[in-house]
């Protein structure tokens, strides 16, 4: 591999990482996706309580995830109106990444707390 082709490959890797981070950026998006990918459909209030995210921030994050086709939103015909959120099939493609991050986070916590 030439230096030039190595630089192009490196740029492609960096671009791919930047694209991924653009979609899942922030401290809440992966938490939301983890809940929905692993736990199924959640109403807005349930998702807020389970994640510990304020309603204002949760609404913003869900909207961005919906724009990126990772979350679907369903308005239910109930009184009062309820809204349900679910991970899309496309969001399932992040399950491997989320699971790897969970494993790494568990290992890292043990390491820094001296429990390893």
Residue 3, domain member (yes or no):
no
pLDDT band at 20 (very low <50, low <70, confident <90, very high): confident
Domain-embedded: residue 57: yes
Residue 106 lies in a domain: yes
Average pLDDT over residues 68-88: 94
Q: Which domain holds residue 39?
A: 27-112
Mean pLDDT for the chain overall: 89
Residue 6 falls inside a structural domain: no
**Is the N-terminal amide bond of 80 cis, ω within 30° of 0?**
yes
For the chain, how many structural domains are there in total? 1
Q: What is the pTM of this model?
A: 0.80
CATH number of the structural domain spanning residue 62: 1.10.10.10
Q: Looking at residues 80-109, what average pLDDT do you find? A: 93
Structural domain includes residue 91? yes
Tell me, yes or no, whether 9 lies in a domain: no
Residue 2 in domain = no
């Amino acid at each position: 591999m030439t230096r030039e082709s190595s630089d192009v490959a490196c740029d492609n890797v960096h671009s791919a990482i930047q694209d991924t981070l653009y979609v899942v950026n922030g401290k809440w998006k992966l938490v939301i996706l983890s809940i929905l990918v692993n736990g199924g459909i959640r109403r807005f209030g349930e998702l807020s309580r389970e994640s510990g995210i304020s309603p204002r921030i949760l609404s913003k994050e869900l909207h961005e995830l919906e724009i990126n086709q990772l979350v679907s939103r369903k308005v239910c015909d109930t009184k009062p109106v309820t809204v349900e959120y679910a991970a899309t099939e496309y969001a399932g493609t992040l399950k491997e990444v989320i699971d790897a991050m969970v494993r790494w986070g568990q290992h890292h916590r043990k390491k820094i707390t001296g429990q390893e």
